[in-house]
Structure formats: C-alpha cells, structure tokens
Structure 1
Amino acid sequence: MTVADAAAVAKIHVAAWQHAYRGLVSQRFLDSLSISERTAKLTRSLRQVGPVRTIVAESDGQVVGFATVGPARDEDSSTDDAELFAIYVDPARVRLGAGRALLSRAKEVAREMGCRRMILWVLKDNASARAFYKRCGMRQEATRGTSTIAGDDFVKMKYSARL
C-alpha cells in the first residue's frame, strides 16, 4: 500500500465495517465512520517506519481490498508469530476471491518477516468472518476477553495457522 492508495483503502474500510458489522455494532457508530478521517489516519501511519505492512488487492487498476499484518501483540505470542490486524474487501466484491488472495499474500509477508505462525482476532458474533477464516485453514484457538466498540463489549475469538 502506498499513500496514493489511502483514500481507496479508507473507503473500503468504512464500507466493509458498515456492511460486516450491521446488526452487531451500534448503527449510530457505523453511520459516524468517516472516510476522510480514516484516510488521514492511514496516510499518517504509512509515513511511519515499522514492521507493520498493509497490502492491497486490485482489480482492473482499482483497489478492492486490503490486509494489514505485523508482529503479534499478544503477551502469550512468541517472536515468530505474526498477527493479521485487518482484512477487508469492498462489500460489492465479497466472495470473488480477493479476500482469499489477500490472506494468502499476508501469510507470505509474515513468512518473509521470519514468522512461522499467523494469528488473528475476530468478533465471536461475526459468523461470516469466522466461516471465511475456517475455509481458509485458520483454526479457532481460544476466546479472550472483549473488545469495546462504541461503548459495547464484544467477545473475541482467536484463530491461527502455521505458515
């Protein structure tokens, strides 16, 4: 991902959240998500040097999805664990292969970083995402506490795969 991709990625991120979390997360919160604020945040983060990488999927020259991977943040993770922090596809392009391609490339990036395992966290109530990860060979490991989104607590599930 480059700075030139930030606006397209931000648009996908907001649309994907509004699609994937409809009925799970407060609609008021989803409606408040801002593409311009997300673009600014992405642009700032791209200018920082670090081990986190965001990759994009393109179709016909347009960004249709993205994934972000870096060193795992869990206190129980080892130094050879990578974490998939985000993976989102334009809701109009879901189930056309971009998500699977992004996950595959994220695993390659993790291997290039010297990692041997990838983990990710997903909301327990996000059945479609959990099914996607399972189809892609990720295994459910555990639950761990909650994530708070818009003042509501959600149980998170941990998934992993050997690289």
Structure 2
Amino acid sequence: MTDITVSSIKEVSLRRATVDDAEAIAAVRVESWQATYRGMIPDNYLDEMRIEDSMLQWRQILQAMSQAEDRICVYVAESEGHIIGFASGMMLPEPKLGMQAELTAVYLRPAWQRSGIGRRMVQKVARTLQAQGAESLLVWVISGNSIARNFYEELGGTLLIEQAFSWDGMDLMEVGYGWRDLSVLMASVNAMRTSASLH
C-alpha cells in the first residue's frame, strides 16, 4: 500500500455496511487481530484464523442488521473503493453496567491505524445509537491492549470494571469502558479532530 497522506485520509468515506461487505469486513478483522493481539492471545489461535470462517459470521450479523436497523449498526470505512476498516454497535436489550448501548467492534487495517479514521467510525456509530435513543455507551477491551485502552481514555471513556472471561476456550482478562453521557464522547472526538487539523 502507498503511504497514507492527509489527502488520502480526507478521502476516506463511511457508509452503512451491507451483506456484500462480509468478506472485506472479515479480511480486515483477521488482519487486525493478527497484528494487534500478538502476546495477548495465543499465536496458534491467531495463525489459524481464516477469512472464510469470519465471513460466515459477518454475513449472519449483516443479515440480522438488515432486519433490525433500529438496534444494530455496522459501518465500513472505504478508500478508493476498498474497505479499510469497520465499526459496529448495538442497543442492549437491558442496561449493562448502567449503559444502554455497546460499541461492539472497531477495526482498521494496520496501515490505517492512528490516522483518525477510528475516531470517525466511533463517532458515526455513537451518533446512530444516540438517534436510536441511547444516552450511554459501553465498550469491552482485552486488558493487555494498551493502545485501545489509551484510545478510549482519550475519547473520555471511564474505566468501569476489569474481569476474567472465557472466550473460545481461552481464559482472558477484559476491561469495560463507558460513557454515561454520549455528548462527552462526541465532544472528545470533535476536540481531537480540531487539534489534529491544527498540526
């Protein structure tokens, strides 16, 4: 991939995902996991991840979304016709840790990380959930993922809990961050975008 420039970042567009995006979303997820979670998740698990398996899962999610757009949203980030990232969120059936909605995924191809696109995607999902009635938002992060933790802390997220969980046969630790007022998240994103534009 060519070097990422300010102009290329500005040309990235966000749109609602469709079922046809399942394979591209799966590819981003696998690439991002394999680059991000080394040392946090066993290498053999990461090495065995397959786009085909993830694609089936995302096809189901996107099909469900088409029937429940008032509760689930998935957005993709596109550059020159290629999907470089995605983010998803959902209204929770009942509040969890006092939060009404959850940011369920934010992933970018490694070359596009720390470009500001992640913030834009988070804001897009948060605005959609806010329009659906959410006033608060929860996100889960693997405890050892310091980059993601710093990202959410910079966006005004408050550490709510740290707990053990079992996932696909692995025992891991996770932390939950939350925004009790989504306007705090929106203000943080806008402030960071303004600061970035001044440099």
State the TM-score, normalized to the length of structure 1: 0.90
Pairing 1:59-70 to 2, within 5 Å after superposition = 59-70=79-90
Asked if the contact 1:73/1:83 (under 8 Å) is kept, the reply is no
Task: Encode CA deviations 1:94-150: one digit per residue, 9 max, x unaligned.
Answer: 11111111111111011011000111111111111101111122121222x322245
Q: Secondary structure at the match of 1:13?
A: helix
Q: Distance between the aligned counterparts of 1:22 and 1:74, measured in 2?
A: 34
Pairing 1:20-39 to 2, within 5 Å after superposition = 20-39=36-55
Is 1:5 matched up with 2:21?
Answer: yes
Gap change, CA 1:108 and 1:125, over 3 Å in 2: same
Give the residue type in structure 2 aligned to 1:105: K
Pairing 1:1-163 to 2, within 5 Å after superposition = 1-48=17-64, 49-50=67-68, 51-72=71-92, 76-77=96-97, 81-143=100-162, 145-161=163-179, 162-163=181-182
Gap change, CA 1:155 and 1:73, over 3 Å in 2: farther
User: Which one has the bigger helix percentage?
Assistant: 2
Q: Secondary structure at the match of 1:72?
A: strand
Asked if the contact 1:25/1:149 (under 8 Å) is kept, the reply is no
Report the Cα offset of residue 75 of structure 1.
5.9
The structure having more radius of gyration, on CA atoms, is 2
Asked if the contact 2:95/2:101 (under 8 Å) is kept, the reply is no
Q: Distance between the aligned counterparts of 1:140 and 1:58, measured in 2?
A: 31
5+ long unaligned stretches in structure 2: 1-16, 183-199
Q: Secondary structure at the match of 2:26?
A: helix
Give the residue type in structure 2 aligned to 1:153: D
Identity %: 30
Q: Distance between the aligned counterparts of 1:65 and 1:56, measured in 2?
A: 6
User: What's the C-alpha RMSD, in Å, of the aligned pairs?
Assistant: 1.7
How many residue pairs match? The answer is 161
Q: Distance between the aligned counterparts of 1:76 and 1:100, measured in 2?
A: 23
Which is worse superposed, 68-77 or 123-132?
68-77
Asked if the contact 2:94/2:100 (under 8 Å) is kept, the reply is no
Gap change, CA 1:44 and 1:156, over 3 Å in 2: same
Q: Distance between the aligned counterparts of 1:94 and 1:26, measured in 2?
A: 22
Q: Distance between the aligned counterparts of 1:22 and 1:87, measured in 2?
A: 17
Gap change, CA 1:74 and 1:129, over 3 Å in 2: farther
Q: Distance between the aligned counterparts of 2:170 and 2:27, measured in 1?
A: 24
Report the Cα offset of residue 40 of structure 1.
1.7
